[in-house]
Amino acid sequence: MSQLLHTMIRVGNLERSIQFYTQVMGMKLLRQSENPEYKYTLAFVGFGQETTGQAVIELTYNWGVDTYNLGNGFGHLAIGEDDIYARCETIAAAGGNITRAPGPVAGGKTEIAFVEDPDGYKIELIQKSSATEALG
């Protein structure tokens, strides 16, 4: 069976992004590698390894590039949480930027919140108990 392994996003400051995803979002740095010939560094972060069925995020740092135009095609990453309210408190206490406070979606029952990473990527937190409602 096929498996979604990772989503790649380009970041302007690799250490800042690793700090955000590990210290603020609670992920682990799974591995990191450099490619001096093509001048980029990759860091993979996630809640678990791909070998366990987890999807991870590939942070790609192209040496010397500190900002990107995110465009209007990419929407957000989504993470299921047991308690988005407590998670947002933890994220805010760690210096994370909550851009939409936790609560039900307009006209629905699914509970969500949004966080923004240091490069401006949006991360949706979805209450697991209502996550299946948000999948369609």
Catalytic residues, by residue number, are 124
How far is residue 64's CA from residue 132's CA, in Å, rounded to a whole number? Answer: 41
Q: Confirm if 70 and 117 have CB atoms less than 8 A apart.
A: no
Grouping H, G, I as helix, E, B as strand and the rest as coil, residue 27 is coil
Residue 28 DSSP label: E
How far is residue 39's CA from residue 89's CA, in Å, rounded to a whole number? Answer: 38
How far is residue 133's CA from residue 74's CA, in Å, rounded to a whole number? Answer: 22
* Structure token digits, residue 41: 């560094």
Q: Confirm if 44 and 56 have CB atoms less than 8 A apart.
A: yes
